[in-house]
Amino acid sequence: SLRVASNQLTHVGEDALQGLDELQLLDLHGGNTLHTLTGKPIDKAAEDGEEDGGEQQEEVPPPSPRSLPKFPPLPSLKTLNLSSTQFGAEKPADILAAVLTTSSGDRALPELREIDISDTPALAAMGDDFKAELLLVLPKTLRTVNGEALTLEDLKASEDLRQARIAEREEKERLEAEARAAAEDVERVAEE
């Protein structure tokens, strides 16, 4: 077990959890102002939009999930507690999926059974579908979210969400293909 609750952590360094293959519980809850699971700390001045003299900085978009450093493989981790931290993002489930996938495409936490993200911006951003969102990106070994056991209804909601996302992606691809075909038709007519 590694308990680092109430330590005012803002990030977990890229190499901080390397080599902890037997770690089963990681508790980062309460008191930590954790914004990211890995990587560099968020610059407070940049976060607040302030520079010397209090001038507003140009808004910097959040990093893409692909550019985020990867969470180190913790093959034995069963419990991850991020409750009451500042962990969150505009699309926290996408960020979790990207961060918790190793560079070889495997899941970094293949044995995860319990996650707690209560009282976090991530939970607020995911809304009512938070369990379904988490089930899409976390291992199928997951059994408990925010202290509540997952139900068959949660599993069905996740499957419904997965199917809806597939349908959305297929529809987007269809519309893009139609737009390309229409553009090609316009070019062909213009050439004639």
* CATH number of the domain encompassing residue 34: 3.80.10
Co-location of 124 and 180 in the same domain? no
- Per-residue model confidence (pLDDT) at position 36: 55
- Reduce the secondary structure of the chain to three states and give it as a string: CEECCCCCCCCCCCCCCCCCCCCCEEECCCCCCCCCCCCCCCCHHHHHCECHHHCECCCCCCCCHHHCCCCCCCCCCCEEECCCCCCCCCCHHHHHHHHCECCCCCECCCCCCEEECCCCHHHHHHHHHHHHHHHHHCCCCCCEECCEECCHHHHHHHHHHHHHHHHHHHHHHHHHHHHHHHHHHHHHHHHC
C-alpha Rg value of the chain to the nearest Å: 20
Co-location of 92 and 143 in the same domain? yes
pTM: 0.64
Co-location of 185 and 101 in the same domain? no
Domain count, the chain: 2
Report how far apart, in Å, the C-alpha atoms of 59 and of each of 48, 53, 65, 92 are: 10, 17, 18, 20
Co-location of 115 and 174 in the same domain? no
Pairing outcome for strands 25-27 and 2-3: parallel
- Per-residue model confidence (pLDDT) at position 64: 43
Co-location of 119 and 187 in the same domain? no
- Per-residue model confidence (pLDDT) at position 153: 95
Q: Which of 62, 65, 69, 66 is nearest to 14 (CA)?
A: 69
- Per-residue model confidence (pLDDT) at position 95: 63
Co-location of 79 and 165 in the same domain? no
Its domain, for residue 186, covers 152-192
Co-location of 118 and 131 in the same domain? yes
Co-location of 128 and 180 in the same domain? no
pLDDT tens digits for the chain (192 residues)? 676 666 666 666 666 667 777 777 776 666 555 555 555 444 443 444 444 444 444 444 444 444 444 566 778 888 888 787 777 655 566 666 766 776 677 777 788 899 888 888 778 888 888 899 888 888 688 999 999 999 999 999 999 999 999 999 999 999 999 999 999 988 888 887
Q: Which of 3, 46, 29 is nearest to 116 (CA)?
A: 29
Angle, helices 130-137 vs 152-191, to 10°: value is 70
Co-location of 100 and 140 in the same domain? yes
Q: Are 109 and 74 in contact (CB under 8 A)?
A: yes
Co-location of 111 and 77 in the same domain? yes
Co-location of 111 and 137 in the same domain? yes
Co-location of 81 and 122 in the same domain? yes
- Per-residue model confidence (pLDDT) at position 52: 43
